[in-house]
Chains A and B, each alone.
Chain A
């Protein structure tokens, strides 16, 4: 079999399925700060951090999460995803991509919610999930939506609420 065909078959289709949503998220997070902060600060300081975090959400939920599934804590997929998202938010904070109390709290919430939702979609490909269990897991969806919205609001306070004194680049 041709190697490129093998690779294409192995790549999770979720990456392609959620590509458009991921692009919208990356562009929104990358460009919205420009409205408040102008191109210089808005794009390079705030926008780039948002774009990197948005892309992390997409890659973690579609690629890293399923790859690490057996080692992530918890039995429910939404718990595993929330843990991975929060851990990645912590990692991005340590790497200096996310800075400040509100953005860090926001990133933990919305990255956790995003990865949690994306990973839940892999219940269909797992061989050990049951419909009753999945119905129970789906009760987490309103929590994910609330955490996602709250997280994004907290995340964006950095550029629309904070005065220029907060700008520490």
Chain B
């Protein structure tokens, strides 16, 4: 199944990329591929903003506003609740 088009905050600065392939390795949705020793985004809309690529990129060429895509969590956050499903902007418990 596919989610919304053109919404994710994933950014790749190709000039910084050293082509190590770590992003391809860690991405759970095959968003990246390596062409000519350089990472490229091949399936941007498949990104679920988990943040694994940005966290593992050794040269900070990848950035993404990572977080959990959960309405309940965001509502709980907005209401200031704390509990099993209370996400923060950076992470989810």
A131 touches which of B1, B69, B72, B85 (Cβ 8 Å) = B69
A129-B48, A133-B3 known; A138 vs B74 contact (CB < 8 Å): yes
- B5-13, B19-27, B33-41, B52-60 - the one binding chain A: B5-13
Query: Across the interface, do A124 and B69 meet the contact criterion of CB distance under 8 Å?
Result: yes
Q: Which of A60-111 contact B (CB under 8 A)?
A: 69-70, 75-77
| Distance between B55 CB and nearest chain A CB, rounded to angstroms | 15
Q: In the assembly, what is the distance between CA of A13 and CA of B71, in Å?
A: 16
Most buried by A among B9, B49, B66: B49
| Distance between A1 CB and nearest chain B CB, rounded to angstroms | 24
Contact pattern, B 48-92, Cβ under 8 Å of A = 1, otherwise 0: 110000000000000001111111111100000000010000000
Interface residues of B, count at CB 8 A: 26
Summarize B's interface: helix, strand, loop or mixed.
Answer: loop
Q: Is A52 an interface residue (CB 8 A)?
A: no
Query: Across the interface, do B2 and A75 meet the contact criterion of CB distance under 8 Å?
Result: yes
Chain A residues with Cβ below 8 Å from B46 are 128
Q: In the assembly, what is the distance between CA of A96 and CA of B46, in Å?
A: 43
Query: Across the interface, do B3 and A131 meet the contact criterion of CB distance under 8 Å?
Result: no
Q: In the assembly, what is the distance between CA of A121 and CA of B70, in Å?
A: 7
| Distance between B15 CB and nearest chain A CB, rounded to angstroms | 24
Q: Which of A112-169 contact B (CB under 8 A)?
A: 120-121, 123-124, 126-138
Chain A residues with Cβ below 8 Å from B93 are none
A75-B2, A127-B48 known; A132 vs B65 contact (CB < 8 Å): yes
16 CB contacts below 8 A, A to B, read A69-B1, A124-B68, A124-B71, A124-B72, A124-B73, A128-B2, A129-B3, A129-B70, A130-B8, A130-B47, A130-B49, A131-B70, A131-B74, A132-B65, A133-B8, A134-B74
8 tightest A-B contacts by CB? A124-B70, A129-B69, A131-B67, A130-B49, A133-B4, A134-B69, A133-B7, A132-B7
